[in-house]
Structure 1
């Protein structure tokens, strides 16, 4: 791939999705975009880039973005955030919301669905306690391909073996041939929706818990800051914000403070604290 083609694609992806590609990611562009070029009988990625330059259309741009934003996921990834969800967040919020009996959770980068389904399993553990409650998980992603897989809830043997205990597999999935399918009682907690984090308006909804794990690392600094501000505007004052284990808000935002001894878990800084900061 020529440097010019790389720069063109990198700029296109940054504008459309916030994805920031370093100069060493040419191989990734080649491997992910080559199937699109073949499907359109364009032969190679160079001709695909030429087509994008000369005759860009929404469908082709969407296909390129989709190919580059489909990221790996697996059940109960990193384990700790789900322990925090069950042991820290849910008990506190169930006490705080005991009158309204409403809980709203947002998985901002749901990928192929393993994260929201993992959270739904944690909710199922408390199904008896949550009787009479309105609890929902909004699972969003920019990738239509990933989101369609998430909606279907069909996973290979390899996928369910990654992080999913056998007990939970047998409890929440049905085997169909060589695949495992999520049971309806687990799906009932989740609503899937296509969403580009860079296009969300502030305050579009209010959530008690926001999971935004392992996605900001792909954005440039400007994209990270804009996204964090929007997420902060959508979090309830006493809500919880969850980042990936290797991610940090240091130097990006003063809207959140890390919880002591709870890696990756953040709370909103109060207006009074912001004024005195």
Structure 2
């Protein structure tokens, strides 16, 4: 890829996804777009970029953004966020929501679904405590292709070995050939939707916890500030935001501040006006937003 095409690609990614691709990532662009060329039967990256510059194929723009998106994830990644969810976030929200008995969780940039299903496993293991509660887990990502994998809930031996305790694997998965299929019950607890974090999210409603991990690291400071402002609008009063281990809100103008008592949790530093009620989640299989 020549320097002119690389500059065009970087500008497109910034505009469409917020990804600030470094000037030293030409090798990454060549690698990712070579794979895309093979998928689309295009003879070279130069030809692909000529098609892109014509601006006649919005679907090609989306395919290139998806190709350049990093989809690295695993079950119970970094462990600490899930411990905080079980030991801090859940007790708080169960007390706050005791009257209406509803819990809503948003996994932003969910990739192939492991984070959302990890949270579902924690909730499933608390089924007796949560009897009669209405549980909703929403997983969103900019990539439609990766969301199809998340919805399927089918993982390789390598994927289930990464972070997933053996007892949870045997309890929540069924082996079919060389693949592991997550249980229908857990799949019915999660809805996956395509969503760009740069876009308005009013229709999603409010959440008791938002997991947006290892995403801000790809954004420049203005984009981080914009995304954090949108996330703040989606959090219910006294609710929590969970970022990646290397991410922080310090130094950024936002409505968030780190929790002094629980490292890894981010809290709203002021009250945000309540958002509209969420639109109903679309039914799938056994249905969503159902009591445990």
Same fold (TM over 0.5): yes
After superposition, the C-alpha distances for 1:145-204 in whole angstroms (9 at most, x for unaligned) are: 110000000000000000000000000000010000000111121111110110124575
TM-score, reference length from structure 2: 0.90
Match of 2:73 in 1: 73
What does residue 148 of structure 1 align with?
148
**Mapping for residues 124-143 of structure 1, pairs under 5 Å:** 124-143=124-143
Where does residue 42 of structure 2 map in the other structure? 42
- Report the Cα distance in structure 2 between the residues aligned to 1:253 and 1:132, rounded to whole angstroms: 40
Q: Is the 8 A contact 2:225 2:254 kept in 1?
A: no
Q: Which residue of 1 aligns with 2:282?
A: none
Other-structure match for 1:263: 263
Give the paired residue count: 272
The answer (yes or no) to whether the contact 1:200–1:230 under 8 Å persists in 2 is: yes
In the TM superposition, what is the alpha-carbon distance from 1:271 to its structure 2 partner?
4.4
What is the root-mean-square deviation of aligned Cα atoms in Å? 1.4
C-alpha change, 1:41 and 1:187, in structure 2 (3 Å) is closer
**Where does residue 54 of structure 1 map in the other structure?**
54
Q: 1:123 to 1:270 in 2, by over 3 A?
A: same
Q: Following the alignment from structure 1 to structure 2, what is the Cα–Cα distance between the partners of residues 149 and 231?
A: 25
- Unmatched 5+ stretches in structure 1: 273-277
Output aligned runs, 1:1-277, within 5 Å. Answer: 1-202=1-202, 204-271=204-271
Tell me the TM-score normalised to structure 1 length: 0.94
> Post-superposition shift, 1:260?
1.8
d(CA) in 1 for partners of 2:244, 2:251: 16
Q: Give 3-state SS (helix, strand or coil) of 2:198's partner.
A: helix
| CA distance 1:56–1:37, shift in 2 (3 Å) | farther
Q: Does the CA-based 8 Å contact 2:207-2:235 persist in structure 1?
A: yes
Unaligned runs of 5+ residues in structure 2 are 273-292
